[in-house]
Amino acid sequence: MKLLIDLHSHNERQGPGGKAQTELAIYLAGLDFQVKYRIADIGCGTGAASLVLADTLDCDITSVDFLQAFLGVLNDRASEAEFASRISTLCASMDDLPFEVNSYDVLWSEGAIYNIGFAKGIQEWKAYLKQGGVLVVSEVTWTTDERPQELEDYWEAAYPEIDTASNKMKVLERAGYQPLGYFTLLA
């Protein structure tokens, strides 16, 4: 864990994407700038998405990560940006969240749901969404049906749930979600 913390704690993000991609996801999710939201940012790392959400929307955010060191960085960044009153951090595992049922308007997870698996995450987290709530996640997907065998073998061993975006949409629909938007995030 120390190596993971040392490697990533000083980075703005712990995965691909940036402010523009977070803003695009806000837009595609149909979030209204005039509505006050309660948001959980699950697997937040050092909080890049949490900070964009707080800067863009009227919201209170619970930023969740299992590494307290990352949350410490986020707390410092939130204070510096004057968002400390709207961002609270929670050190917890994403597969054992202490949330009440129907407690969030938005569940957000950039580059993290794969840690427990896409299907498991969307199914388990659904209980935390209020009626009409929105789930926003990024997920590793194939962008083509033709891939080098070596690459396919690697991902099959590392993350057997990897699939095409269209098949991920089907997983969402089977779990009771109605996809609102999608875009390809290239590293």
pLDDT tens, position by position, 153-170:
999 999 999 999 999 999
Instruction: Answer yes or no: is pLDDT of 2 > 80.
Output: no
Backbone region of residue 102 per phi and psi (left: phi > 0; alpha: psi in -120 to 50; beta: other values):
left
Burial class (CB in 10 A: 0-12, 13-18, 19+), 111: buried
Distance between CA 75 and CA 137 in Å, rounded?
Answer: 23
Position 67 scores a pLDDT of 93
Burial class (CB in 10 A: 0-12, 13-18, 19+), 175: middle
Instruction: Answer yes or no: is pLDDT of 69 > 80.
Output: yes
- Give me the mean pLDDT over the 8-33 stretch: 84
Instruction: Answer yes or no: is pLDDT of 5 > 70.
Output: no
Largest CA distance in the chain: 50
- pTM to 2 decimals? 0.91
Distance between CA 152 and CA 123 in Å, rounded?
Answer: 26
